Amino acid sequence: MTRAMSSGTYLVANKNATADASESYRTLRTNIRFSTMGRSSKVLLVTSASGQEGKTTTATNLAVSYAQENKKVLLIDGDLRSPSLQEVFPRSNKKGLTDILSGQSQWEEAVSTTAISNLFVLTAGTVPPNPSEILGSDQMQQLLNQMSVYYDVILIDSPAALDVSDAQILGTMSDGVVLVAHQGKVTKDQLKRVKRSMEHVNAHILGVVLNKA
Ligand SMILES: Nc1ncnc2c1ncn2[C@@H]1O[C@H](COP(=O)(O)OP(=O)(O)OP(=O)(O)O)[C@@H](O)[C@H]1O
Ligand SMILES: [Mg+2]
């Protein structure tokens, strides 16, 4: 779908690091708009077949790109096993998604602002013993429904789709799935397996982002 340019950092879209990198995320944003024409495209899941393919980088920069388009954006860390948004946007991870779902926090207090206007972040929160169960809970679906009223776009970062079922579970709650592929690392067979697993739960893959191309 789109080729993400090398940057070496997470946040390229908000720096003038490379104009090409920002441009490639704008192109991705545009491609998503056309892939979802006529359908809801508010909740988007970002995943990949295996680890370290660029899910977090893509989710972050896509979120910045939407915020720059004056959309009110919420970026959620759905990688409860190995969360990283608290490092991308340095902040405490004391109150996050899992703390809301376990009733320890309200989402209004757990979501935080960032240096980028229109961009809000919800970190993963306390690492739970049962991530898949927590993500698949009715509370998670209800939370997304509630937050959908307040944000124009909700982007969810996730663990690798072939490692655990978390991405598949989140796929069922999303309007579309952006599949990030590290060219040269992931095989066609792995991509097909992710595609099948998403189709199995009626999740809609919007396209593949060739990262680190
Ligand atoms: N387009 C790119 N150009 C250069 N480096 C990149 C690019 N995309 C990602 N990276 C780097 O590759 C590493 C892995 O990226 P990232 O954390 O986004 O992947 P991930 O799929 O979220 O990994 P994990 O499975 O561990 O969550 C990071 O160090 C990141 O800075
Ligand atoms: Mg990640």
Q: pLDDT value at position 12?
A: 58
61 lines ligand 1 (CB under 6 A): no
Hunting for tokens 């070496």 — which residue is that?
A: 8
SS3 at position 120 = strand
SS3 at position 47 = strand
Helices 19-35 & 55-68 angle (0-180, nearest 10): 80
Six token digits for residue 132: 């898949």
CATH number for the domain formed by residue range(s) 2-211: 3.40.50.300
110 CA from centroid of ligand 2 (Å): 20
Pairing of strands 43-48, 112-113: unpaired
Q: Which burial class, exposed, middle or buried, applies to 152 when counting CB atoms under 10 A from its CB (0-12, 13-18, 19+)?
A: middle
**177, β-bridge pairs:** 45, 205
Q: pLDDT value at position 180?
A: 97
Mean pLDDT by 10 residues, the chain (213 residues): 42 61 93 93 97 97 96 98 97 97 97 97 97 98 98 98 98 98 95 98 96 81
94 CA from centroid of ligand 2 (Å): 19
Give residue 34's identity as a one-letter amino acid code: F
38 CA from centroid of ligand 2 (Å): 30
Q: pLDDT value at position 7?
A: 32
Residue nearest ligand 1's atom 13 by CA: 52
Q: pLDDT value at position 20?
A: 84
Show the 3-state SS of 184-212.
Answer: CCCCHHHHHHHHHHHHHCCCCEEEEEEEC
Q: pLDDT value at position 11?
A: 59
The values of phi and psi at residue 113, to 5°, are -80, 165
Residue 145 near residue 42, CB atoms below 8 Å? no
207 lines ligand 1 (CB under 6 A): no
Probe ligand 1: pick from 10, 12, 56, max atoms within 8 Å of CB?
A: 56
